[in-house]
Amino acid sequence: MMHVFLANNREELARRCRMKVESRAGKSDSNRQLRHGIPLFLDQLIRTLEIEQTKNPQASRRVSGPAGGSAAMSDIGAASAQHGKALLSLGLTVDQVVHACGDLCQAITDLAVERDAPFEVDEFRTLNRCLDNAISDAVTEFSYQRDILLADACANESNKRMGFFAQELRNHLGTASLAFSAAKAGSLSLNGATGAILERSLHNLDKLIANSLEDVRVADAASQILSAFSLAHYIDEITAPAALSAMAYGCTLCVAAVDQELALSGNRDLLITAAANLLQNAFKFSQPGTEVRLTAYAAGNRILIDVADHCGGLGPGVGESMFQPFSQPGADRTGLGLGLTIARQSVLANGGELLLRDVPGTGCIFTISLPRHKVST
């Protein structure tokens, strides 16, 4: 089995990956960071393959994420995102990040051929899934952090332009004030030279203000970011009342740790209402004694909030109809069937999306997708 092969050859695979990293030009600090990520990913891959040999193979998705490129919280995703962020700080490019993630696949393939190690097709699929998710999350976070740096640079440049604008504004206003004072004190006609100076100063002021409209729009966008609120605090606010509801339904609420630097921007009350309705729906339809999982994390320039239940999966023809008013597809007809409708409208009102993913035989996952911000410091 592949996980046995990987565990027995862990050091050799890491060595081969280090050789590939060192063969490419780069800073020594970059090489050390790249080499650090290899053993961590290898351990997560081994753990994924081991879990898939158990009676509950779907549990491996928490380690390595789902197939198909869907965004989801996983150990590989979190580690790869941090890896991508660290590589950016060391001055690497996107292609170096992709090469770093692909080194292990090449090393495994080469060593397996050399030693004639037989692997099952499903094991290769798992390997590809883990690599796809690792590369996707690393590149996504790398790109997001790079965009943040570019945005900061643009903001600094904008501040310089605003400083120049204020200086020019003061100069022209001062000239206009002097001209007006001179005309007033000397009872001068505005048709003369003093009036021409005043007119020219006013014209220059009008031109400066017209040219500054774009900077005003940029400043307005920045003010929206400054009004962002902490994602971690938002989740904490939801958790306490939700835990009580879970107990009433005989379920367990499991809340994953949240990155303290992440933030949301929007109507806090509406977003709390949206998450609360999703959790209430999850408790209502989950089987007693099972777990409802609340996970909030970043994926590129989005914040994703997953509510995963254990309803057993959606039945035939059940999907988007669940969001229709008064829709009650399950056997439990308590309530008005408006919870999911309210949740979607609340998310849409904040510029987000509410997505639904079916996990046959287990349950379904509702995902709130919103723009990503950073907590103001």
Task: Give pLDDT tens digits for 268-310.
Answer: 888 888 898 899 889 988 999 999 999 999 888 889 999 999 9
Phi, psi angle pair for 119, to nearest 5°: -120, 150
pLDDT band at 225 (very low <50, low <70, confident <90, very high): very low
Characterize 51-70 residue by residue with b for buried, 16 or more Cβ atoms within 10 angstroms of its Cβ, and e for exposed: bbeeeeeeebbbbbbbeeee
Q: Show the DSSP H helices in the chain as ranges.
A: 2-8, 10-23, 28-51, 61-64, 75-89, 94-114, 121-185, 193-211, 213-226, 231-249, 268-285, 339-348
Average pLDDT over every residue of 310-337: 64
Q: Is 359 helix (H, G, I), strand (E, B) or coil?
A: strand
Is residue 85 within 8 A of residue 142, CB to CB? The reply is yes
Across the strands, what pairs with 364? Answer: 358
Task: Give pLDDT tens digits for 121-131.
Answer: 788 787 777 77
Tell me, what's the pLDDT at 70?
57
Tell me, what's the pLDDT at 294?
95
Spatial separation of the C-alpha atoms in residues 372 and 365, rounded to whole Å:
20
Average pLDDT over every residue of 51-71: 68
For the CA atoms of 254, 304, 349, 253, what is the dihedral angle to 10 degrees? Answer: 0
Q: Is 138 helix (H, G, I), strand (E, B) or coil?
A: helix
**Nearest residue to 270 (alpha-carbon basis) of 372, 375, 368:** 368
Sign of CA dihedral 142, 147, 148, 150: positive
Task: Give pLDDT tens digits for 188-217.
Answer: 666 777 777 777 777 777 777 776 665 555
Tell me, what's the pLDDT at 30?
47
Tell me, what's the pLDDT at 63?
66
pLDDT tops 60 at residue 376: no
Tell me, what's the pLDDT at 164?
61
Spatial separation of the C-alpha atoms in residues 282 and 36, rounded to whole Å:
39
pTM: 0.48
pLDDT tops 80 at residue 357: yes
